[in-house]
């Protein structure tokens, strides 16, 4: 009666299905991986290969010259380069951390507490995602000027706390937290903050780990734009873009810059994603 | 005297009722003070840096504003000009709808399907595959590879391959010829569509309890398709809603891709989108009032579209 299963741990799967799945995924992944592979190859190309025509995709004689040139240029900069790195790290870390906590707190009460105005507020947040940021740039600048936050870190950090996307994402994850869990914690006399921090947040770990990626990416690439004009407060992407202004002679350095700007988010991505994937096996306490 | 007293009474009644309302509102706030306290930090920041700028932009859409001088109120003129006097805007609307109608749904479905396929794999290779699929959203120079590929000379990868195979005799101007522009751009948009929604789906699939799947096996679910329909989809509803909103916002806000590949403006405006039009007026011609009117129209269209799709999704779950 019982057919021999190829994998006893996952009885409702077939071998043929699993193989087809992997094949399809790898074919598509080969396409989406192209820009990443290209950027990595470019960073190690000597100048003559970068300017080669017709362009060649892969690198033939890999070299570290581009990185050497980049570090030489960095050493010549007027403000010590470590300062730019610190600025970006500070803005990214504080902005991401604050956003995750503040947006999750709001998302928790919007989903799990019933109070007047909750639904309206949430709808406004979701709707705001649809307004083009191009035209709000000037009003935004005026708000910053009124607050006297121009040319400070806060002009980049505080608005990041209030991004609409984070609240929306966290609110959707809060739906998956069982009410009974919160109720029983409340019965045991836990404070609301404790419930939020020790019970709800572990439950929605995949949610905030994903939010960390989104927030990190948008802050990491921030050039400071019109908000910051002191050289010593400028973030890293601004300084690296300045190096690129040198034109064609800096093409090799440019490839190295693209590589460095890309590799940090990728490391961050791998760390958070492998944690997202591990959560399934560890969080066994939901609905018990 | 009695008349006066009567009058006093009659005037004090509405006063009393508004006062009662205020009192009850105050009571409500006190009753829910913890909730409001949790919401306050986000709400204050959101109102200051999102709501105020949006409201100011809405106001600017009724003005002539060239960024240097104070805005001049001109009523509905921007909107009248937009719909009656701007042929290019109508082209942009048509292109935007075409792009959104095709890339939106396909990108959405693809995001879910790939997230689900990946979820079937052993955990160790999952993170790596997710990275490969998310690569277009994380690596800096996404468009470069496509401009090289679809370059109009005989050295562009696509042209040289087609010539080698004998399918065409002379190179095709992929990004300059209005005939080919839109299909090429659609391919690129679809290729980039595994972004925010995709990652949310990946995370959502992780937060479904394993015990549900175990119970499903006991209940007689035989293959992965039944599992998808009876367990995975119902549990994924919040993330599917999120993904739908992101798909709408992204597919109507297409602009970077078209500008990077086909240029701004593109030949005959064949790849001109509403956002391209908006950027053209806002940051090139410095007509911020007019650009705000474009943003407002786009906003209203997106909100309406979102309404329809949310209703459809809600019905689907029932």
Indicate yes or no: CB of B57 within 8 angstroms of CB of A54: no
- What three-state secondary structure class fits B63? strand
- What three-state secondary structure class fits B72? strand
Indicate yes or no: CB of A25 within 8 angstroms of CB of B118: yes
What pLDDT, on the 0 to 100 scale, is given for residue A1? 37
Give the pLDDT confidence of B32-61 residue by residue, as tens digits.
888 999 999 999 999 999 999 999 999 999
B1 Cβ neighbours under 8 A, 6+ residues apart: none
> Which residue from A minimizes the CA distance to B254?
A132
Q: What is the mean pLDDT of residues B239-243?
A: 92
> Which residue from B minimizes the CA distance to A113?
B35
From B48, B140, B148, residue closest to A39, measured CB to CB? B140
Indicate yes or no: CB of B42 within 8 angstroms of CB of A284: no
Give the length of chain A.
288
Token digits for B300?
């209203």
> Which residue from A minimizes the CA distance to B132?
A33
Chain A CB contacts of B306 below 8 Å:
126-127, 130
Quick one: chain B helix, strand, coil %, rounded to 5? 75, 0, 20
Q: From CA A63, how far away is CA A53, in angstroms rounded?
A: 19
What pLDDT, on the 0 to 100 scale, is given for residue A248? 72
Cis (ω within 30 of 0) for the bond into B265?
yes
Best of A3, A19, A35, A258 to disrupt the B interface (most B CBs within 10 Å) is A35
Scanning chain A, the segments in alpha helix (DSSP H) are 15-32, 34-43, 47-50, 65-75, 81-112, 118-128, 133-147, 154-161, 164-174, 179-187, 192-194, 201-203, 205-220, 236-244, 251-282
Phi, psi for residue B220 in degrees, rounded to 5: 100, 25
Domains identified in chain B and CATH numbers? 81-317 (1.10.3720.10)
Compute the nearest-CA separation of A238 from chain B (Å).
Answer: 14
Chain A CB contacts of B140 below 8 Å:
39, 258, 261-262
Compute the nearest-CA separation of A82 from chain B (Å).
Answer: 22
Give the pLDDT confidence of B90-118 residue by residue, as tens digits.
999 999 999 999 999 999 999 999 999 99
Q: How confident is the model at residue B242 (pLDDT cuts 50, 70, 90)?
A: very high
Chain B CB contacts of A106 below 8 Å:
38-39, 41-43
Higher pLDDT residue, B263 or A161? A161
- Quickly tell me which residue has 């009117």 as its tokens: B293
**A139 touches B: beta carbon within 8 Å:** yes
Best of B82, B109, B139, B146 to disrupt the A interface (most A CBs within 10 Å) is B139
Chain A CB contacts of B222 below 8 Å:
12
Enumerate the β-bridge partners of residue B72.
B64
Indicate yes or no: CB of A134 within 8 angstroms of CB of B282: yes
Q: Which of A164, A137, A127, A136 is nearest to B299 (CA)?
A: A127
pLDDT tops 50 at residue B3:
no
Scanning B32-122, the segments in alpha helix (DSSP H) are 33-46, 52-60, 77-84, 87-119
Q: From CA A193, how far away is CA A198, in angstroms rounded?
A: 8
The sign of the torsion formed by the CA atoms of A135, B271, B104, B157 equals negative
Q: What is the mean pLDDT of residues B292-296?
A: 93
Compute the nearest-CA separation of A231 from chain B (Å).
Answer: 24
What pLDDT, on the 0 to 100 scale, is given for residue A279? 60
Q: What is the mean pLDDT of residues B144-159?
A: 83
What pLDDT, on the 0 to 100 scale, is given for residue B222? 78
Domains identified in chain A and CATH numbers? 94-220 (1.10.3720.10)
> Which residue from B minimizes the CA distance to A105?
B38
> Which residue from B minimizes the CA distance to A254?
B141
Local structure of residue B236 (DSSP, 8 states): T
Give the pLDDT confidence of B116-125 residue by residue, as tens digits.
999 888 877 8
> Which residue from A minimizes the CA distance to B193?
A32
What pLDDT, on the 0 to 100 scale, is given for residue B7? 47
Compute the nearest-CA separation of A58 from chain B (Å).
Answer: 12
Compute the nearest-CA separation of B298 from chain A (Å).
Answer: 8
Indicate yes or no: CB of B38 within 8 angstroms of CB of A106: yes
- Quickly tell me which residue has 């009974």 as its tokens: A180
**A34 touches B: beta carbon within 8 Å:** yes
A238 Cβ neighbours under 8 A, 6+ residues apart: A84, A223, A224
Chain A CB contacts of B36 below 8 Å:
115
B63 Cβ neighbours under 8 A, 6+ residues apart: B71, B72, B73, B74, B78, B289
Residues of chain A with pLDDT under 50: 1-4, 281-288
B-contacting residues in A 70-129 (Cβ below 8 Å): 102-103, 105-106, 108-110, 113, 115-116, 118, 121, 124-129
> Which residue from A minimizes the CA distance to B279?
A134
> Which residue from B minimizes the CA distance to A278?
B123
CB B281, CB B291: distance < 8 Å: yes
**How much of chain B, in percent, has pLDDT values that exceed 90?**
44
Compute the nearest-CA separation of B214 from chain A (Å).
Answer: 9
What pLDDT, on the 0 to 100 scale, is given for residue A9? 63
Q: From CA A95, how far away is CA A86, in angstroms rounded?
A: 14
ipTM of the complex: 0.87
B-contacting residues in A 239-268 (Cβ below 8 Å): 258, 261-262, 265-266
What pLDDT, on the 0 to 100 scale, is given for residue A194? 93
pLDDT tops 70 at residue B9:
no
Indicate yes or no: CB of B302 within 8 angstroms of CB of A130: yes
Token digits for B107?
């990108």
């Amino acid at each position: 009666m019982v057919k021999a299963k190829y994998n006893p741990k996952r009885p409702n799967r077939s071998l043929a299905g699993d193989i087809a799945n992997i094949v399809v995924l790898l074919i598509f992944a080969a396409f989406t991986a192209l820009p990443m592979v290209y950027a990595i190859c470019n960073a190690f190309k000597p100048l003559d290969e970068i300017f080669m025509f017709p362009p060649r995709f892969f690198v033939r004689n890999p070299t570290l010259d581009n990185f050497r040139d980049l570090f030489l240029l960095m050493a010549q900069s007027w403000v010590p380069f470590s300062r730019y790195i610190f600025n970006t790290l500070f803005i990214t870390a504080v902005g991401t951390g604050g956003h995750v906590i503040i947006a999750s707190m709001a998302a928790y009460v919007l989903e799990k507490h019933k109070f007047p105005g909750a639904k309206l507020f949430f709808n406004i947040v979701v709707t705001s995602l649809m307004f083009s940021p191009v035209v709000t740039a000037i009003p935004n600048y005026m708000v910053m000027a009124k607050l006297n936050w121009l040319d400070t870190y806060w002009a980049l950090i505080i608005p990041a706390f209030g991004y609409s996307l984070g609240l929306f994402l966290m609110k959707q994850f809060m739906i998956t937290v069982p009410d009974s869990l919160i109720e029983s914690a409340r019965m045991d006399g836990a404070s609301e903050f404790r419930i939020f921090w020790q019970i709800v947040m572990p439950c929605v770990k995949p949610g905030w780990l994903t939010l960390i990626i989104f927030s990190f990416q948008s802050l990491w690439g921030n050039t400071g734009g019109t908000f910051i004009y002191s050289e010593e407060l400028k973030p890293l992407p601004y300084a690296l873009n300045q190096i690129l202004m040198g034109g064609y002679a800096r093409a090799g350095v440019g490839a190295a810059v693209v590589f460095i700007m890309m590799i940090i988010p990728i490391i961050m991505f791998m760390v958070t994603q492998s944690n997202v994937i591990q959560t399934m096996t560890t969080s066994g306490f939901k609905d018990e | 005297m009695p008349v006066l007293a009567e009058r006093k009474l009659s005037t004090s009644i509405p006063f009393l009722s508004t006062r009662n309302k205020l009192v009850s509102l105050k009571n409500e706030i006190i009753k829910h003070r913890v909730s409001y306290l949790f919401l306050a930090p986000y709400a204050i920041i959101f109102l200051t840096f999102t709501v105020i700028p949006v409201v100011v932009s809405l106001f600017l859409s009724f003005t002539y504003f060239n960024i240097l001088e104070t805005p001049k109120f001109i009523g509905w003129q921007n909107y009248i000009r937009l719909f009656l006097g701007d042929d290019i805007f109508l082209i942009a609307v048509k292109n935007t709808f075409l792009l959104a109608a095709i890339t939106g749904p396909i990108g959405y479905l693809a995001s879910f399907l790939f997230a689900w396929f990946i979820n079937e794999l052993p955990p160790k290779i999952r993170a790596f595959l997710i990275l490969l699929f998310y690569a277009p959203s994380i690596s800096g120079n996404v468009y470069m590879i496509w401009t090289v590929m679809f370059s109009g000379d005989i050295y562009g990868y696509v042209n040289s391959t087609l010539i080698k195979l004998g399918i065409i005799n002379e190179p095709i101007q992929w990004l300059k010829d209005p005939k080919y522009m839109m299909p090429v751009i659609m391919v690129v948009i679809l290729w980039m569509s595994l972004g925010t929604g995709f990652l949310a789906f990946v995370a959502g699939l992780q937060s479904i309890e394993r015990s549900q799947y175990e119970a499903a096996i006991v209940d007689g679910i035989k293959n992965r398709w039944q599992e998808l329909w009876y367990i995975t989809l119902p549990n994924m509803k919040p993330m599917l809603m999120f993904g739908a909103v992101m798909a709408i916002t992204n597919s109507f806000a297409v602009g970077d891709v078209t500008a990077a590949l086909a240029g701004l403006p593109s030949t005959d405006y064949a790849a001109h989108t509403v956002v391209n039009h908006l950027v053209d007026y806002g940051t090139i011609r410095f007509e911020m009032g007019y650009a705000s009117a474009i943003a407002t129209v786009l906003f209203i269209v997106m909100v309406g579209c979102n309404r329809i799709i949310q209703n459809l999704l809600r019905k689907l779950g029932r």
